[in-house]
Structures are given as C-alpha cells and as structure tokens.
Structure 1
Amino acid sequence: MRLPPLLLLPLLVPSSLASRSGAALRSGIARFYDRSSPLWEAAWGDHCHHGHYPGGKPRSDHRQAQVDMIAELLSFCRLGEPPRAILDVGCGLGGSSRHLAREFPGSSATGITLSPYQQARATRLSAEAGLGERTTFLVADALDSPFADGSFDLVWSLESGEHMPEKAKFVAELLRVCEPGGAVMLCTWCHRDVPGGGSLGRRERRVLDKISRAFYLPDWCSGAHYEDLLTSSDQITPGSLRREDWSYVIAPFWKAVIRSALHPKNWLGLLRAGPSTIRGAWAMLLMLKGQRMGLIKFVVVTATKKSPP
C-alpha cells in the first residue's frame, strides 16, 4: 500500500515516547485525544472503540457495529441484575456511557478520561441527548480515581487498559471501586500469550515499540497477565472469570479505519489535527500488521467481585 506523503512524517519522529511514564505519559495521552477526537467523531461518531463483526466477516454499517460491540460485551459479562451505577473507564466521547444509560433506564453512568476535550464534548453530547442528569464525565486518572470503595456495580473499561503503565495498579483500582457482587469488564489490546515464561521475539518488540510511540502506550502485556492479576487478587468470585480473544471479531474495523485515514478527503483534517494524530494514522498499518502476525490480540476479560460471606 502506497502511503500519502503526509503519513510519512511519523518516520521522522524521535523514538523516545515509548519510554515515558507518569506525568509525561498522562499529558501525552491527553494531548493525543484532545487533538484526534474531533477527527474521529467526524468520521466514526461518538463511540471511540471498535465494532463487532460476527465471524470476522466485513459489514458496511460500521457505526452500528460499534453499538453491537457494547451489546456483545454485555452478553459476555452475564450480568445477574441490571446495574445501578456504572463507571466507564476511559470514556472517550461518552458513547458507551450514553448507550449503557439508555440500556439500563434506572442507572447512572460516570465516565473518566484524561482528555479535557473529551470530557467537555461528552458532557455536551449527553445534554443534547437528554441524558445530562444521568451521565457525568470527569477528567481523572484511572490509576488514582476519585471514587470511594465499592461505588459502582458495573466497572467498564473498553480499550483503555493499553494506556495504563501499571497494570497491577489498574486492575486493583477497577476492583476497589467495584462493589461486592458487581462486575468488572475489561476489553483491551494485548500482545500474544508467551508460554513457559518466555519472551517476545525481537521483531515483535520492534513492531510494538513503533505502535507505542504513536499511540502513547507504555509496555504491553498479555491477556494471561490480566487474568493472573485478577485471580491473584483473591477478590473474584470463583468460577466467574472469563477471558476470550476477539481479535478476529474486530479485524474488519481496522481495515475500514485505515481506508478512511488514507482517503484524500481526510488529509486536511489529519494535517490540522497535528503530528500526534498523523502518527496514530500511520500506526494503524502497524496494528494491522501485528494482528496478521498473531502478535496483537483484542482481549476481553470479565469477572464478578466476591461478596462478603
């Protein structure tokens, strides 16, 4: 595939981003989504996540596929009772929060994001949709969220875990704010499981490092690592944890996004969004490459928090 000259600019960007952590990483993530979210919304709407494609077969209604993803994740969670209080970790423009609020009329949804633009835009979109009183959006760090223990009976993280530099702390925080008997749903990008305590190959590491520089990601982990973190916490109801690889289910969406990014009508929007968004558009090709290598996995994990005896 021949790239337009605009998308060759990321090749000139220094490689120091992957090693950043802490405040520098958080500010980089916030700037990235401040600048890229308007372009994403114009092309794909208010759901900042992938679509669901049954059997991995292409479909043309990509926005509906994004909505269907939420329905499929809810089915995967096997909720016993409709949730009353929902936390949307890494809420983007609030699409999931609004959908969940509509799905469960007696509930309230709170979304957190590092991006001030996303927080303001999500608040406005919810007000326009008549959901302003049932949805709240805050600029907050998922590793240090401003909520009391057990505040939510559904803790929902759809494609935000990959941005977390401390995976153990991230999982611990999801469990802390989940009330006993509540559900945690974690859907995130991971690298392949590495059996026997081995390591990824050098070529695999190079691909992940390039993607991390573009998307402001810390070190990647495997789906097995998330499963281990949950089970080792001793807070999970026995038998409630489930993990699946949905990489094939979302593969057609990446191809559609790449076609959109490479379309000449979007080049001006990319240029206006700035270098970080251009790097992100370029890195989508690497994401697709990583999936084809069997390196990058779209992992779904859910579990119920143990109730007291």
Structure 2
Amino acid sequence: EMMAWGNLPGFEGAPPAPGAPAPGTMKVLDVGCGIGGTSRYLAKKLGSRADVTGITISPGQIERATELAKEQGVSNAKFELMDALAMDYPDNSFDVVWACESGEHMPDKELYIKEMARVLKPGGRFIMCTWCQRDDREVPFTKKEQNILDFLYEEWTHPYFISIKSYEELMNGTGKMSGVGTADWNEETRPSWRHSVWVGIADPFFWVTKPRLWWKTIRDAWTLERMHRAFKKGLMQYGMFRATKLYDESSAAPAPTMDREMSMQ
C-alpha cells in the first residue's frame, strides 16, 4: 500500500510518476534498512527493473541482511554500512529514496531530510513513513502527555519525535522537493501495535526456554501498549510522505508535480 500511495515508479497498480526512470535503470535507496526486510521486498516486487541498496549504521544488521538476501535468492539488493546523516553518495545518485520507520531514530531531522533530498535524482521519487507526534504548536501537550512521550523516548532510546506538519515544512524547506504530499495512517497501522504485544508474549515455548528474558519481554509489551494508547488518543501519528525532486536549472526536463494530500486526524 505504501508503494502504491507513494506512486513508486514501476510498481504494478500505481500510475507512473512524471519523469519516472525507464525499466531496468532504477536505483532505489532504503534509508535505515535494519536487517533488510523492506529492501528485499522492494527488490522482489520491482525485480530486474531496479537495484536496491539498503543502508544502516549497524554492522550486525548489514551481516544479517546480506545473509537473508542470499538465502532468499534476492540478487538485486545489497547493503552498506553508512550514516543516513552523512551519506557517502554523490548528489543525484538514486531514482527512488525510500525510508520506512527510520526518521524517529534520527537525532537531526532537518539534516536527515536534506541528505535524502541531496542524493535523490531530479525527477526522482521520495517516499517515507515515520512515527510522529501531534503538533504541539496547535495543541500544547499536557503534563501527562509529555510524561508519556518522555517514557517512550527513554524506553526505546529515541531522540525525539516531530509532527507531520513539521516534516512537511522540512521537506519544503529543502527547496528541492515538489508536490509534497502527507497523510496520517494512524487508523490503518494502529492494530499492529497490539498484535506486536501478543506476538511477544503468547508463545509458551519462549517462556519455558528463555526465562531470563521474561522481564524484558513484559517491559517491551508494556511499552508497545503505551505506544498503542498514544496513537489511539492522537498523541502520536503515523506520518506518510511523498514528493518528487525538482529539476535544477541545468536539467532539461520540467519538474513534475503532484496534488498535495493531507488527511491528518
């Protein structure tokens, strides 16, 4: 659904975005790839039409992602150790920049957006989802709400969250993105939080064989439940973002545009 919503070039069911690269030439960057689940999915879906590169700062994740890609026969996905805030790639390197739930981990959101815009080719597609907070400039947080956010920061070692509107402002602030579209997929994604809780505690084999992890599992389950409640109450939002990179003066083609969509709840 994220691929279709973002008008990912070459994805079946999505109309081709203006300026989309020709089949077989598409270079896709997955920013904050973890152990490569999304990278492998994109590589499988796009097939020979694309080469997918996933980046992460964790050597262990790179090793595991590479192993899984090999085991699953995914030859068009590779993984590189790299900081998303200081990428080694030249400007205008990728046809698609994709980021799924990595923004919440970034200590500098503005630099994060700027770096992704920098490595995206003119006419290229930007697609991102990330955890966001309610815009406290419109409705300030109560003391209780701030305590909930502080709890989530501490439990998951996230630096901070920002709002969907703030991300939109950062994207427009680069001066390189056109047709910036946003949405809040809170309703669509919220059930997954409670599902994650049950996945973590419902396996009796785990409780018998891993007793030392009981406390951590219970604590993680409580954190997931707190996150579920934060989304349910609107304190947290699931931000979706899409845009196309503008052509600069040296580029031959005009910048593609797209209608802006906002469905914040």
Q: Tell me the residue number matched to 2:61.
A: 118
261-270 vs 103-112, which deviates more? 261-270
Quote the offset at 1:115 in angstroms: 2.3
Distance 1:235 1:259, change over 3 A: same
> CA separation in 2, counterparts of 1:177 and 1:274?
43
Q: TM-score normalised to the size of structure 2? A: 0.81
Match of 1:170 in 2: 112
Q: Paired residue for 2:150, among 193, 198, 209?
A: 209
Q: Over residues 71-108 of structure 1, what are the superposed CA-to-partner deviations in whole Å (9 max), with x where a residue is unaligned?
A: x1111112423671111111122121111112222211
Give the whole-Å Cα distance in 2 for the aligned partners of 1:269 and 1:303.
47
Runs (5+) with no aligned partner, structure 1 = 1-71
Q: What amino acid maps onto 2:189 in structure 1?
A: I
The residue number in structure 1 matching 2:255 is none
Are the structure 2 counterparts of residues 285 and 148 from structure 1 closer, same or farther at C-alpha, using a change threshold of 3 Å?
Answer: same
Give the TM-score normalised by structure 1: 0.70
Ranges in structure 2 where 5+ consecutive residues have no aligned partner: 9-16, 250-265
Matching residue within 69, 78, 91 for 2:7: 78
Alignment match of 1:200 (pick from 124, 141, 149): 141
Amino acid in the other structure paired with 1:92? G
Aligned amino acid, residue 259 of structure 1: W
For residues 265-285 of structure 1, what are the alpha-carbon distances to aligned partners after superposition, in whole Å with 9 as ceiling and x for unaligned?
234677666977764333101
The CA deviation at 1:186 is: 1.3
For residue 150 of structure 2, give the secondary structure of its aligned residue in structure 1: helix
Q: 1:157 aligns with which of 99, 115, 135?
A: 99
User: Quick check: 2:207–2:214 contact (8 Å CA) kept in 1?
Assistant: no
1:99 matched to 2:99 = no
Query: What is the aligned partner in structure 2 of residue 7 from structure 1?
Result: none
Partner SS for 1:297: strand
Is residue 258 of structure 1 aligned with residue 201 of structure 2?
Answer: no
Whole-angstrom CA distance in 1 between matches of 2:84 and 2:128 = 13
Contact 1:270 1:277 in 2 (8 A): no
Distance 1:275 1:194, change over 3 A: same
1:249 and 2:188 aligned: yes
Q: Does 1:88 align with 2:30?
A: yes
Q: Which residue does 2:14 correspond to in 1?
A: none
Percent sequence identity over aligned pairs: 35
> Do the aligned partners of residues 281 and 137 (structure 1) sit closer, same or farther apart at CA in structure 2, a change above 3 Å counting?
farther
Q: Structure 1 255/277 Cα, relative in aligned 2: closer, same or farther at 3 Å?
A: closer
Paired letter, 2:238: F
Against the structure 1 CA distance between its residues 294 and 136, is the aligned structure 2 distance closer, same or farther, given a 3 Å change threshold? same
Question: Matches of 2:143 and 2:86 in 1, distance apart?
Answer: 34
CA RMSD of aligned residues (A): 2.1
Change (3 A) 1:106 1:301: same
Alignment of 1:1-309 (within 5 A): 72-79=1-8, 80=17, 81=20, 84-104=26-46, 105-132=48-75, 134-196=76-138, 199-237=140-178, 240-263=179-202, 265=204, 266-267=206-207, 279-309=219-249
Comparing both structures, which one devotes a greater share of its residues to strand?
A: 2
Structure 2 distance, partners of 1:102, 1:129, is 10
CA contact (8 A) 2:201 2:217 kept: no
Tell me the number of residue pairs that the alignment of Structure 1 and Structure 2 aligns: 234
Give per-residue Cα distances to partners, 1:128-175, cap 9 Å, x unaligned.
Answer: 12223x211122211112211111111110011000111101110110
| 3-state SS in 1 of match to 2:177 | coil
Residues 1:111 and 1:206: Cα distance change in structure 2 (over 3 Å): same
Amino acid at match of 1:121: R
C-alpha change, 1:251 and 1:107, in structure 2 (3 Å) is same
